[in-house]
Amino acid sequence: MNAVEIFLKIRDLPYAIPISQEDKDYCCNGKSLMLKSQLEALWYSCRFRVCSFFWNSLWLPQEIMSLPHTPKSTHVWLEVLIDDRWIDLDPTWDSGLKSIFEINSWDGRSSTKVAVPILETFSLAKSEGIMNGSIPDEPEGAFESNKIFYQALNQRLAKHRHTL
């Protein structure tokens, strides 16, 4: 499998925020971890990038946005070294969500769009620290307070996901 095929395969895993230990991690974190591992096996140099964004900057209906949640969150994507330059590679939204989000394709050379409107891009060191767990990406207890919001978001995406 080549790099573009790997990107498309991981991109099209149905995006969902894991709620329990049994859930597959197909949110931006999980997809970026998988993509990094598989591209590095093909000898690509990759690094994590993390940014902050506001949930209200995404197209989400009021019934979800009115649920208790932390307004600001983090998002993860990769930078991949291609032809001596770092390009953005974001596999977040699966193609089944094309009626809701812009879906990235990749030509193997150019940057893709980052899936969320970026508020602040963190340094490489902070991005790596967030991904390796040495720096928390959200305040203590935030996941539990956001759990109902995440469940509603996952349900909405599943309901609107078009089969390929």
pLDDT of residue 164: 47
Query: Could you give the CA distance from residue 39 to residue 9 in angstroms, rounded to a whole number?
Result: 12
Which pLDDT belongs to residue 135?
86
Which helix (H) or strand (E) covers residue 146, if one does?
A: helix 142-160
Query: What pTM did the predictor assign?
Result: 0.94
- Report d(CA 164, CA 162) in Å as an integer: 6
C-alpha 108/C-alpha 11 separation (Å) is 14
Ranges of the chain whose pLDDT falls below 50:
164
pLDDT tens for each residue of 7-50: 999 999 999 999 998 999 999 999 999 999 999 999 999 999 99
What the block records as the tokens of 24 is 């597959």
pLDDT reported for residue 103: 96
What rounded mean pLDDT belongs to the chain? 94
Beta strands in the chain (DSSP E): 46-54, 72-82, 85-89, 120-121
User: Pairing state of beta strands 72-82 and 85-89?
Assistant: antiparallel
Nearest-angstrom CA–CA distance, 37 and 99 = 29
What is the end-to-end Cα distance of the chain in Å, rounded? 20
